[in-house]
Amino acid sequence: MKRLLLVLAVVLVGSLGVVTAATAAGRQNQAAPAATPPPSVEAPQQIVAPVAAIDYEPAPGSDTTNPTGTATVTVQKGVFDRVTLTGPKGKAVKGAFNADRTSWTTSDRLAYGTSYTWAGSAKGVDGKSVPLEGSFSTLTPAKTVRGTLNIGDGKTVGVAAPVRVQFNGHVADRAAAEHALSVTTSVPVQGSWGWLPDEGGGSRVDWRPKEYWPSGTTVTVKAKLFGVAYGQGAYGAADVTSTFQIGRSQIVKADVNSHRMIVIRDGQQVADYPASYGLGTDPNRNTRSGIHVVSEKFTDKRMVSQQYGYDTVEKWAVRISNNGEFVHANPASAAAQGSENVTHGCVNLSIDNAKAYYDTALYGDPVEVTGTPVQLSAKDGDIWDWTLSWDKWQALSAL
């Protein structure tokens, strides 16, 4: 029994020694962990300030720029020191910087077929200067077409006066041209543009109110035609504008069967003249029924007809259509005035009555002829705008 206890004691002592040794070894390992290599140190990167970058509009080398647009130069990562854009003979184009001097835009209008060159410089955030350089050209039209207005600044016209833009060449793209036209009025007025057959060497378009103009209206017409592409290589030559007045309302009532010509001014009858109209038995001599418009007047007008064999000068002639119809004095028909229609289509009055009417007539005054079987129409020429219904007139617009 003593031997057995001795053996067990030896075994326990040996085991404890092993455990103690292992524990000591573990503590030694925790106290001295394996060394970690130090992290590598990279060399610091050098920060480079960006260089100023310049953009041009139009692009350098462009030769199709429409001169109605602006030319602009912008800079990124910098500001402009100086900018110039020059045309022929070094003439500078006016322009201006934005608030922070990062862009410059032209304020002058450019011209057709012209080369423009950039100069100046911008400074980048790196402090270095970058030059402006390069050039561009505007387009060169195959043809320029000029538009003119029929009513000038400051004029006073009658209540039936149409606004006309007459072009000295054909306008193929009527919609493009019409987009460039505007009419503004001091009081609301409904109206529309209508394209008429080409006459006078080119295209023409009229603006007509739905009803007669209100008297006293101020009218401003703007035709911003420069740079407008009319098609077939043609472009608008120049802008045109006009501001004018609509005068008093004076309407002539001309019933051929009454043998009278009545003048209504601002709603009140102011004259009732004996008259003679075109011979009713000859359709070629009938005074045309419809709304005529006074277009011009002459103190003395030579009137010639090979068909009817006359060549005479008449006094106080007021043209009311381009087919030869006038309101004028004619002593030769004095006996028929007020009782019979014997003329070749004109409205004949006495010398005194013709002079009185002549003195009051304005371009654009309506002369409303009624009572004949032949209607005023496009073939009578010039101002036939009022022969069409409002719906038919609107249909002549290109828009």
Give yes or no for a contact between 337 and 275, defined as CB atoms under 8 angstroms apart: yes
b (16+ CB within 10 A) / e for 12-42: eeeeeeeeeeeeeeeeeeeeeeeeeeeeeee
Distance CA(53)–CA(84), nearest Å, equals 17
Backbone angles phi, psi at 343, to 5 degrees: -80, 180
Q: What is the pLDDT at residue 40? A: 54
DSSP one-letter string for 154-167: T-EE-TTPPEEEEE
Q: Select which of 170, 179, 259, 328 is catalytic.
A: 328
Catalytic annotation present for 292? no
Q: Select which of 259, 292, 344, 346 is catalytic.
A: 346
Give the pLDDT mean for 340-369.
98
Q: Tokens in use for 16?
A: 């404890």
Backbone angles phi, psi at 126, to 5 degrees: -80, 0
Q: Is the pLDDT of residue 41 over 60?
A: no
Kindly report, residue by residue over 175-223, the tens digit of the pLDDT.
999 999 999 999 999 999 999 999 888 999 999 999 999 999 999 999 9
Q: Tokens in use for 161?
A: 């006066």
Catalytic annotation present for 170? no
Looking at 34-38, 150-154, 232-236, which range is the least confident one? 34-38
User: For residue 248, with 0-12 CB atoms within 10 Å meaning exposed, 13-18 middle and 19 or more buried, which class applies?
Assistant: middle
Strands 326-329 vs 310-319: parallel, antiparallel or unpaired: antiparallel
What whole-number percentage of the chain has pLDDT above 90? 85
In a 3-state reduction of DSSP, which class is residue 312?
Answer: strand
Q: What is the pLDDT at residue 12? A: 30
Q: Is the pLDDT of residue 38 over 90?
A: no
b (16+ CB within 10 A) / e for 109-128: ebebebebebebbbbbeeee
Q: What is the pLDDT at residue 13? A: 33
Kindly report, residue by residue over 68-79, the tens digit of the pLDDT.
999 999 999 999
User: For residue 134, with 0-12 CB atoms within 10 Å meaning exposed, 13-18 middle and 19 or more buried, which class applies?
Assistant: middle
Instruction: Give 160's Cβ-side CA count (13 Å radius).
Output: 23
